[in-house]
Amino acid sequence: MGDPIVRMPLRVRFHECDPQGIVFNAHYLAYFDMASFDFFTEIFGSYDNLLARGVDTVVAESNVRYLAASRFEDELVVGVSIEHLGTTSLILAFTITRGAETVVAGTNRYVFVDRETLAKTAPPDDVREKLAARL
């Protein structure tokens, strides 16, 4: 896995913290989701450009490793890179850092689906080529 293709900065908001004052674990998946749209925008110009090719993506699996606590107003950066490009799937790797410290690492496995039927499908060749060029 190479350098992140996208680095999305964010500041932890108060409502994302639990009673202990740390980011509630489920919010990290929301951070992954937000950064994935920045990733698709970087690769395709917009998510709509991917949809215009007749395919969409759905999350089939998520994995998260919590390495350190994040708190209200922490300045975080979500890095996104391609871990794997399969025949009908794509695994994005996410690294959330606070300065030089990694606080969370994880992956989402996305499955390409036909936009109309939602049936699993291989992405069009041009979509695959754009992704493969960033591996």
- Taking the C-alpha atoms of residue 51 and residue 84, their distance in angstroms, rounded to an integer, is 21
3-state DSSP percent of the chain in helix, strand and coil, to 5: 25, 45, 30
Regions of the chain short of the pLDDT cut 70: 1
The confidence score (pLDDT) of residue 24 equals 97
Is the distance from CB of 69 to CB of 103 less than 8 angstroms? yes
- Taking the C-alpha atoms of residue 1 and residue 50, their distance in angstroms, rounded to an integer, is 23
- Quote the longest CA-to-CA distance of the chain: 48
* CA nearest to 62, candidates 8, 103, 106, 120: 106
pLDDT digits (tens, 9 = 90+) for 22-56: 999 999 999 999 999 999 999 999 999 999 999 99
The confidence score (pLDDT) of residue 2 equals 72
Superfamily covering domain 6-127: Hotdog Thioesterase (3.10.129.10)
Task: Output the pTM of the full model.
Answer: 0.94
Segments making up each domain of the chain, as ranges: 6-127
- Taking the C-alpha atoms of residue 12 and residue 71, their distance in angstroms, rounded to an integer, is 7
The confidence score (pLDDT) of residue 1 equals 58
- Taking the C-alpha atoms of residue 71 and residue 133, their distance in angstroms, rounded to an integer, is 36
